[in-house]
Amino acid sequence: MKISVIGAGYVGLVTGACLASMGNEVSLVEVDMRKVESINNNIFSIYEEGLPELMKGTDIVATTDYNVINGAGIIFICTGTPSNPDGSMSLEQIKQAAGEIGDLLRTRGDYCVVAVKSTVVPGTTDEVVIPILERSGKKAGRDFGVCMSPEFLREGRAVYDFMHPARVIIGEFDRRSGDTLLPLYEQFKAPILRTDIKTAEMIKLASNTFLANKISFINEIGNICKRMGIDVFEVAKGMALDERIGNKFLNAGVGFGGSCLPKDLRALIARATEYGYNPGILKEVLHLNDKQALIPVDLLKKHIPLNGATVGLLGLAFKPGTDDIRDSRAILVAGALLKEGASILAYDPMAANNFKNIFPEIKYSSIEDVMKSDAVVILTEWEEFSALDYRGKIVIDGRRINKAREARIYEGVCW
Ligand code: UGA
């Protein structure tokens, strides 16, 4: 099958590379010329386990030229949908992609399917993407097909997740659209659910906001447990024995970050509000998450005066295995510490350079120097933090590194 992927972010790159490795002929369209050049040189701006190796084995060529999508039977839109200041999703990149695809549909005689993979709020494909495509004079359902098929890829593990999906969701404009997409996924041993387009869009948002909900829930239980002298990790272990609850996403700590969970929560809140509904649970999940990030600062204040102190930050990435700092809890912690008059020494094995762009005033140093700070805050559970010598230190732990319990003063954010 000839496939085009628009947008070379982590979803686009991984989708393209995986589909190519499955024997499809894939072209990748990206508006950023520098990104195109580096992809063609097998250099990636994001870290994804297995991606460079996978790309090397394919003949994918990235280009800025939309004309390559002529002849593609399926065109995936994988452009970004960052947050607007009011929390809603910015659709600029999707609109631009749809406009370009529409221009090419105008002169195209054969049937193809445009499939949205970008995370969008329910209604976006029907109300925004299809009308733009139809400006070509062609009609969805008659001249071309439309699907919305979300991905559930974790950053850092995206190649594995693509190849081993827990489920495949195909939101289809009509039967023919879905039938065209189906052969791509039939080889996976995963249940395939076919729905209408709006439902598929909501499945993605509901899944991410549910995961966020689980984290804020266990953090709230942790905050109560800490006050009562109960270990929330033991509680979570006991809860997880009920298979209706499960053992995933019940690690209490400083909360969730990244480019997806916080953004998707904000977007669903904004969308619900547009429809006159006040999504109380979703708002509280987000609110609690932001409060949770500041707990380490309050705990530190109990042990040392922050004004003039040097505080070491261990971990800046929003989770281990990535250099991504988007919505990382470390951003909130660093901001609050600087406001209190502390100086910061920070260490992260991958994300220090990205953090420097936001906080040039922080000193980035070796792990050894960070450990010499007046107190240390652990914000990402990098494996190497389990091998440090914490004896004699003051440690506030946001990610449950058990080895750190040997510190002279040790406090977990919610244990
Ligand atoms: C998330 C979802 O997990 C993916 O299924 C989804 O496809 C993706 O968003 C997306 O929409 O593209 P990701 O942002 O890569 O994936 O990160 P997660 O692994 O979900 O972690 C998110 C945050 O939650 C991290 O900051 C992590 O430290 C935190 N977390 C996770 C906890 O605090 N506790 C937990 O138990 C689990």
pLDDT in tens, 155-169: 989 999 999 999 999
**Nearest CA owner, ligand 1 atom 4:** 154
pLDDT at 346: 98
Structure tokens at 415: 């244990």
Q: Looking at ligand 1, which atom is closest to the CA of residue 11?
A: 12
Q: What is the dihedral of CA 409, 413, 414, 415, to 10 degrees?
A: -30
Residues 219, 239: Cα–Cα separation, whole Å:
14
Residue 74 in 3-state DSSP? Answer: strand
**Nearest CA owner, ligand 1 atom 2:** 154
Q: How far is the CA of 261 from the centre of ligand 1 (A)?
A: 7
Is residue 232 scored above 90 in pLDDT? yes
Positions marked catalytic: 260
Residue type, 60: I
pLDDT at 42: 86
Percentage, residues of the chain above pLDDT 90: 94
Burial class (CB in 10 A: 0-12, 13-18, 19+), 303: middle
* Nearest alpha-carbon partner for 329 in 321, 318, 337, 340: 318
**Nearest CA owner, ligand 1 atom 31:** 249
- pTM here? 0.95
pLDDT in tens, 72-113: 999 999 999 999 999 999 999 999 999 999 999 999 999 999
- The answer to whether the CB of 85 falls within 8 A of the CB of 265 is no
**Cβ(260) to ligand 1 under 6 A?**
yes
Domains of the chain, earliest start first = 2-204 (3.40.50.720), 294-412 (3.40.50.720)
